[in-house]
Amino acid sequence: MFETGVRQFRLALGMTQGRRLDPGNVVRLVDDVLATLAEFGEPGKDAGELIDGPMADPTARLEVANRSLRRTARRLAAQSPFYARRFTSANANPAKIDVAGLRAIPVTVKADLMERPGDFRCTDVPAYLATRTTGTTGRPAEVWLSRYEMELWPALGALASVLRGELGPGDVMQVNLSSRGAVAMHLSATSCRLAGAGCRPLGIVPPEAALDSLAQGGATILLTVPSYLAELVAAARRAGMGADDFRLRRLVVGGEVLSASLARAATRTFGVPHVDDPYSMTEVVPVSGRTCSQAHQHHDLNLGLTELVDLDTGEPAAPGALGTLVITPYFPYRDCTPVFRYDTRDVARCLPDGPLRCELAGIPATSQILGKADQLLRLPGGEVVTPRQLIEAIESLPAEPWPARYRATICDGTGRDGRIRLTLPTSAIAGYGEAEAGRHFAAAGLDVDLEIVGNDQAASLRRTRSDMHETTFASQHALVGA
């Protein structure tokens, strides 16, 4: 107990002073949490503040953000060639940067990262592991990470997960993410190891194989992407499997829009109370977000600053307006390839003014992620249709066409200018009819012209992460040894 106090003090001191943290100290704190849980069954009161920080006071929150921004900017000005130039050209003094004056510094976009990846690398730390974004929105970007980051992040992740009861001894986590996602796989496996849990990294294998593993392997946590979850639900239904066939207690998805209809179906099929839909992105790891029971996206305050920037003006989004998430991971949590004001192009809506009433009310929030900015449909009247609106409407069709395969464009020069042309595969409206489907979309507030194409074109309408299938010998029909 004395040692635990010392470790907590060391961690707090490191965070306050902005020095590199000792990952070993955090690992030992995870052990302390496990010992606490073994003895008491639950952490003591105020465990939530240990994870989320005492951030309920807006003044304290602002002070922490300003201090962390300056610390991060000072380091970037000294160690990152890209940001040294950027701060100079913006005439920004890193030692005086604050939240209010942050808009003077242009956002960093993915193109910057792809064109000059070497310039983002800090010169004072050796690179250890490279990871690439999935590339679902175009070319992938490469991000180098240091050994320190690869030790610190899983330790911090395990600490938070164990304290929240999300991961612990006896759990087995099955990871159905792309096996090329080295960092996600590494973080999952290491977090599990630190938490005393098992980890089964499977990749995007045929859903039947994943289901077998889920059912027979006794997995208690499934980590995947919504599109693959959709495939799993469909495969489970085909196989006649239900909640009694699984031991799952948590379903965690990320990286894509999760529709309410798919979430409901997944909870019924796998027998879990709800689907966790946290937010994270390779370029801004370890900053993340959590969804609450009221479907808000609550953004991490300790590891980085999240701004919601108006899509048109670049100013902070007004209540009710759409904005893009601009994220700055703080030093010492981001080390090797840090970004400053990174425009994720993930769109969310600014919540109305007034206090939140959800269980995470102490943490600032936006709406759920509504999709990528580049995929918004701007109608002539000024109305904006988000990918989430379309996905929610499509996936709630009676045919349950998960994951939603569609192409949406604005009609132009066809006599029906300004309407949405929505292309769907035949299977999406099976047994429903085009007219009925049109009424379904109208009821969802979407005035669409439907275009129905053959099912063979479905995959080309909208790429999803589940399309990155990985084959196994078991899934090959004709492998002959030579």
Partner 1 sequence: MSVPIFPIPMWEQSLTLFGVITTGTIVICAGALAYFRRVRMDRPPVGTFNARDVVILLIFIGILPFVYGWLPDTLVTCLLAVTFASALYIGYRPLLGSVGIWLGIGLLFGFNIWSSHHLMGTIPGWQLWYTEQSIMVGLSAIAVCNLYLQGGMKLRHVAWLSLGLAGYDVLFASYYPLTGELIARYITHPLTPVVGMRFGEVDYAVGLGDLLVYSLFFVAAYKAYGARAAKIAAAVIVVMGGFATAFIPFLFNFSNANLDILIPAQSLFGPVAFLTYLWMKRHYGRERTMAEYLASQDDTAAAPRVEQAPAPQPASI
Which residues of this chain interact with partner 1, rule CB under 8 A? Answer: 1-5, 8-9, 11-12, 15, 26, 29, 32-33, 35-36, 38-47, 49-55, 156, 159-160, 163, 302
d(CA 367, CA 357): 14
**Under a CB-based contact definition with an 8 Å cutoff, are residues 218 and 172 in contact?**
yes
* Tokens 């050209």 sit on residue: 89
Distances (CA, A) of 394 to 108, 183, 211: 33, 32, 25
From the CB of 112, what's the least distance to partner 1, in Å? Answer: 30
From the CB of 12, what's the least distance to partner 1, in Å? Answer: 3
Of residues 64 and 150, the one with the C-beta less far from partner 1:
64
Of residues 5 and 433, the one with the C-beta less far from partner 1:
5
Of residues 21 and 251, the one with the C-beta less far from partner 1:
21
Nearest to 338 by CA among 119, 133, 185, 154: 119
Give burial (CB, 10 Å; 0-12/13-18/19+) of 450: middle
Nearest to 321 by CA among 280, 363, 382: 382
d(CA 331, CA 328): 9
Of residues 57 and 383, the one with the C-beta less far from partner 1:
57
Nearest to 189 by CA among 146, 212, 158, 219: 158
From the CB of 302, what's the least distance to partner 1, in Å? Answer: 6
From the CB of 20, what's the least distance to partner 1, in Å? Answer: 15
Residue 310 carries which side chain, given as an amino acid letter?
D
Of residues 10 and 132, the one with the C-beta less far from partner 1:
10
Of residues 34 and 127, the one with the C-beta less far from partner 1:
34
Of residues 163 and 348, the one with the C-beta less far from partner 1:
163
**Under a CB-based contact definition with an 8 Å cutoff, are residues 266 and 259 in contact?**
no
Of residues 42 and 359, the one with the C-beta less far from partner 1:
42
From the CB of 163, what's the least distance to partner 1, in Å? Answer: 7
Residue 376 carries which side chain, given as an amino acid letter?
L
**Under a CB-based contact definition with an 8 Å cutoff, are residues 227 and 206 in contact?**
no
Q: Dihedral through CA 80, CA 147, CA 298, CA 372, nearest 10?
A: 60
Of residues 16 and 93, the one with the C-beta less far from partner 1:
16
- H or E element in which residue 314 lies: none
d(CA 329, CA 335): 9
From the CB of 107, what's the least distance to partner 1, in Å? Answer: 27
| Cis status of the peptide bond prior to 403, with omega within 30 of 0 | yes
Of residues 14 and 106, the one with the C-beta less far from partner 1:
14
From the CB of 273, what's the least distance to partner 1, in Å? Answer: 23
CA atoms within 13 A on the CB side of 446: 26
Coil, strand or helix at 137? coil
DSSP result, 428-466: GGTTT-HHHHHHHHHHTT--EEEEEE-GGGHHHHS--GG
Percent helix / strand / coil, the chain, rounded to 5: 40, 20, 40
- CA 383 from chain center: how many Å? 26
- CA 400 from chain center: how many Å? 24
From the CB of 183, what's the least distance to partner 1, in Å? Answer: 20
From the CB of 23, what's the least distance to partner 1, in Å? Answer: 12
From the CB of 303, what's the least distance to partner 1, in Å? Answer: 9
From the CB of 462, what's the least distance to partner 1, in Å? Answer: 38
Of residues 6 and 459, the one with the C-beta less far from partner 1:
6
Q: Could you tell me the two tokens for 204?
A: 């995007």
Nearest to 23 by CA among 337, 301, 299, 332: 332
From the CB of 260, what's the least distance to partner 1, in Å? Answer: 32
Of residues 16 and 472, the one with the C-beta less far from partner 1:
16
